[in-house]
Structures are given as structure tokens and as C-alpha cells.
Structure 1
């Protein structure tokens, strides 16, 4: 599948993603001298913030375009093109004191494979801290996409659905099944205001709903997103701003010490 990310649009119009990740760094509490792996690092802003703690950090993302942007912005940091849904390089095995992920795990539908790779990368006693979309995340937008594809094109959205938004109990159980001890896990609603007024929804759809364009073809993308936007407007647009119905799952777990 082609790389569907546009790093320039992501950085210029969707900076709220990294901004919300600052609280998750607080849960990680990175320390000077330790090694941290940032899974789904995007264009590297959160990776750079973790580095400010004095930790040695490596950022990975499966998007070549996003990694190229990250390397351009932060040439002093280490970034790798790597997909956590596939076996990661053996050089990363038991190389990290902590694994971190912000707003990325919901793009990785092979959740058990991801957890197995995180486990493999962590040293015994290592921490796994993250936040991503949980059950109900952007449900209004998701429903609008499903409705438009079916009503206007006769297409079921399920074959093109890119996201994994689990309930809290399901993901906690997956963590435990992978061998982790779950230290905390919480599901919470986080209504999220998009910047740029009415155009904010256009930027959001162009960046995050791009996988659904495969259902209709690139020439229909403008119409698809316009219809989705108008379906969402009564519920999500007020006072010249869009507020999306984000719901997040935040957790901290650790890999037990041997013996």
C-alpha cells in the first residue's frame, strides 16, 4: 500500500496531536541515560521532547515520508522506517528501558503482533506507556463515513477501515496475555477542537480518513470528504470550530523481571 501520509500537512495543520502527547510523556517519566523506543513517531516532535529528558531515544514509523520529515527536523536524533506490525530488526531486541507510543497504536490493527514486538524490544523490568484511540473514538465521523459510502456509492466501509479502537478491558487483557503487568489503564472522553475554523475538518479528513479514498478512487475524494463533513456538521461544528468526539485509552504496563 502506498504511503498515504503528508508530513507537511501533518506538521502545519495537525500539531494538536503532538501537543496532547505531552501529558503522556509525563506518565512515561523518561530519565537521563535510559533508552526509549517511540513507536509510531510520525514527524518526531514527541521523540524530540523525550530526548530533552536526557534519555537516548529511537523513533520508528512505517511511513517513509514521515521519517524523512523527522530526520530533516531533528538530524541529531535516530529514526528508522519500521512497522511494529511486522518483526522489528533484531538489533532492537531487549535494547530499551521503555517503549512509548502516542496516537499511533490505533493505526495498528494487528494488536497482538505489536505487543509481541514491544515485549521483544524491552529489557526485563522495562515500561510500556501509551495513549491511543479507544472505544467510541471519533464515532460521529466514523459513522458519517460509513453512511456516505453506503448511501452514495453502495460500498461497505469495513473493508477499508484503518483503525483499531478497543474497549479498555479488551486491551488490558491483550497486554496481560502478552506477558505484561498492567500498572494503570483508563478510558476517557477528550473532546478535541480542531484549529483553522471550518477548514479544520478538511485538513483532518485529508490526513486521517485517506484510507477510505481507496474505496471510491482519488477523483471522488473531494466529494466523499465534502459529504462526510456535511453529515458531521450538525453534531460537531459550532461557533466557527469543529470539536471532534475523541475518546482515548491511556495505559502504563511493564515487562516483569526474570525469575
Structure 2
């Protein structure tokens, strides 16, 4: 009787692989579950651009990163603008905790909007993972009162499992014309491991950035179908890129506020 062959040891999974798998699973969930919301948001952007309106995006703390990712971006729409709320990014001020504190200050949203070029007929995309702090809630409330259309990119799970910090007891999702659910679970940490006392490896930036790029891509296709040349930016690191961008920026100068 021959010797039994030894089975190869199961390959050891790394935490990096676990994170990629978790992020991919979330991306697939959002792709499949939020397709209608992403399509509607992209169509809204295209309609607004076609009608001469402007597009703004805002996020506080790390939620600012997906907003920034769409502004002055090669392969992106030139008319994407960042709504500026000084200090709200958080990591660009000291102490960084000041940014978190500012999210809880009532009245800051109204001041930021009043000082911005945003006007009736424009679109404001508000990104907030939890959607529970006064700043994103009041931004949505004030923007709608001014006649802007509001798209919220947020985790609906937080509204079900946490309490709002706004005096109305409401969340960002309650004051939007459209909501795209990022599907991020409470706590925004995908992994646990022996010897690590807290969950770790957040995926919200990966997922929300993908949502924002999907919305912009949808808007780009919708503009083309309307017969409008999408105001795309090209990389400045390819030949002719700077000349292309100069032409686009000159054509849309009245709708670009980051120059």
C-alpha cells in the first residue's frame, strides 16, 4: 500500500488580502444596490450643467477626500467645485480634532453657503459618512432653502444605529433630493485581529471615492447623449494637455471657482 500524499498547507491569508476582499465586496454591494441613485445623480449633474448651472461638492474630515478627488482632476469634469468651509477638512489644521469640533458647530453651514458662489439651480453634493453632525445636516437644509438640489452620499446604517447631533434629530439623508447609500457599516473598520483591541482598516474613502467617480462618469455620458461636449480635463502630463485644459477652462470660466 503506497504512502498517502501530504496535502499542501493552506495558504496563509494576509490582512492586506482581507482588506482588499472587504473593500471589493462593499464596492460590489454599492454597484448593485445603488445603481439607480448613482444614475439619477449623474443625470441631475448633466441636466444642471446643460442648463448653465454649477456643481459643488463638500465633505468634512476624511469625507472631504472623495469630494476633492473630483475637483481639477484629469479625466474629470472641469465644472466640479469644492465648497469651502475653512477648518472642516480637519487634518489641515492643528489640532486635527478642531475639524471634528467644527462639524458640531451650528450656524457654520449658513455662513459658508452665504459666502460661497452657490445659487439657486446649482447642485451640492454633500458627503458625510454618518450624516449625524450639524454641519452636513444644516448644509443640506440651507442649500435646499436657497434653491439648490442636494445629493447626499452617506451611510444609511448610521441613521439607524446612532443618534443625530442636530437639534431636529434628523440626519443628512432626511434633507436631500437624492441619496446614495455608501453601505459602510457602523464604525467604518473592516478588520479585526488577535492582539488588536479595536477594529481597523476603514474602507469608506475607497467606496465613496468610487461612488463620486461613478456619478461623474454617468454625468459625462449623459451630457454626450444630450449633444453637449462634456467639459473634461486632460492630464497636464500628456502632450497637449495644458492647451486642452486652458480651452475648457476659458469656455466654462463662469462656472469654475478653484482658479
Q: Taking structure 1 as the reference length, what is the TM-score of the superposition?
A: 0.34
Query: Does 1 or 2 have the higher relative contact order (CA < 8 Å, sep 6+)?
Result: 2
Q: Which has the larger radius of gyration?
A: 2
Higher strand share: 1
Q: Taking structure 2 as the reference length, what is the TM-score of the superposition?
A: 0.34
